[in-house]
Amino acid sequence: MKYKREESFRFSFPVPVPGHFFITKINGEQGVSKKGVMELLDISPKGAKFRSVLNFPLNPDLELTLSFQLNSSAINLSGSIVWQKIQTGKYLYGFSIKQTEDAQATLIKELKLYRKNQKGNQHNTFFQ
C-alpha cells in the first residue's frame, strides 16, 4: 500500500461536539440563513463529518459555515457538503473545508490542545 504524505490526519471526537451551521451561499447568491443545529463527529484540516436532522440537497452551489467551540476558541469553517448518508433518523454529511493556511494552522493548534486536555481529563477522572 502506498502512503500519501500530503494527506493530513483526521481527529474523531469521543463525544460529538455541538455546534451550529449557516447557509452562506446557494446557487450563486450570497446571504446568511438562520442557524441550524449540528454535531461535529470528526475533523481534519481539509474536511469534517457532521450530523444534523436537516436533509440538505447535494448541491455544489450550496456553501455552509460550521460554527463550534473547541477549547475556549470559537471555530468557524466555510465549505460545502460532498456526501450524505442517513443514520438512525439523522443525516451524516461529509464537509469539504475551504480555509486559508493560517486558519488551518489555527485549527490544528486547537485540535492538539483539545487532545492534550482530553488525555489530562482521563487521568483526573481515574483518580476521583
Q: Are strands 62-70 and 73-87 parallel, antiparallel or unpaired?
A: antiparallel
Instruction: Give residue 43's pLDDT.
Output: 94
Q: 11-120, what's its fold?
A: Thrombin, subunit H (2.40.10)
Residue by residue, pLDDT tens for the chain (128 residues) are 344 445 568 889 999 999 999 999 988 888 888 899 999 999 998 999 999 999 988 888 899 999 999 988 899 999 999 999 999 899 999 999 998 888 888 888 888 898 888 876 654 433 33
Instruction: Give residue 122's pLDDT.
Output: 56
φ/ψ (deg, to 5) at 112: -65, -45
What is the spatial distance between Cα 31 and Cα 65, in angstroms, rounded to a whole number?
A: 11
For the question of whether the overall pTM of this predicted structure is more than 0.85, the answer is no
Instruction: Give residue 73's pLDDT.
Output: 87
What is the spatial distance between Cα 59 and Cα 2, in angstroms, rounded to a whole number?
A: 32
- By the 8 A CB rule, do 92 and 39 touch? no
Instruction: Give residue 120's pLDDT.
Output: 65
* Neighbouring-strand partners of residue 73: 70
Which sequence spans correspond to the domains of the chain?
11-120
